[in-house]
Structure 1
Amino acid sequence: MANFSEDIQCAGSDTRPPMLDRTDFASWQQRIRLYCQGKENGVNILKSIDEGPYQMRTVRETVAESTKGAPQFGPERSRVYSDLTPEEKDRYNADIQATNILLQGLPKYIYTLINHYTDAKEFRTMSRCS
């Protein structure tokens, strides 16, 4: 009888049909969309898949108001998770779920490329901050 780690290895991407094969793409797309609809926050997960990840953008906070009532803004800064509204937080969390759902069915070599891209992007971001 196989142990748990062997079961996980057997259920890996090598034993699944390739999701990116053009002949099977429509059926995989339908399966993934149905799976996402059944998840909590499914509408936002599908929106993330269709429209791409949520963009944080920048924000300028109101520092003060002038004597005439016009707002005076501070410098632009990148938004962080705590700046988001509850609806935006749901969308941001759905992006993470959508990414995880899509990565579950990818072949191992595609998954490795995505990890490499993400690691390189984080490295560039960290080196700019240093």
Structure 2
Amino acid sequence: MPAARISMRQIIEVLRLKYEAGLSHERIARACGLSKGVVGKYVSLATAQGITWPLPEGTDEVRLEAQLFPAKTPPSRFAEPDYFQVHQELKTKGVTLQLLWAEYVERHGVLGIFRPKTTKCSGSPAIYGL
């Protein structure tokens, strides 16, 4: 379980001590009651996000938090096909959905294959090869 994030006030204080007072990570850590690693983490995070000191006019804790920790969008599990292109290709003589599926798997790999559940079927699962 990841450690809890320190408060935005502490992060602002760390940045102020680093850039305004010019203190080392060790001295900032002692002054704020944090570890040197935590100080280094937030200083490098601010540097990577392009945050400078003094903070720009109108930057409050909420805005700074949004800059430091942008919302992460979960990656899609599937590469969604271009349905318009699929529709156009299906109009071509000799092109089947199975052929297009084979091309899709070749291009993207098997990201997930639909396997119907057989729990509603009568009989033993062994009959269905499960």
Q: Which TM-score band (shorter chain)?
A: under 0.3
TM-score, normalization by structure 1? 0.22
Q: Which has the higher strand share?
A: 1
Q: Which fold has the larger relative contact order, with Cα–Cα distance below 8 Å and residues 6 or more apart in sequence?
A: 1
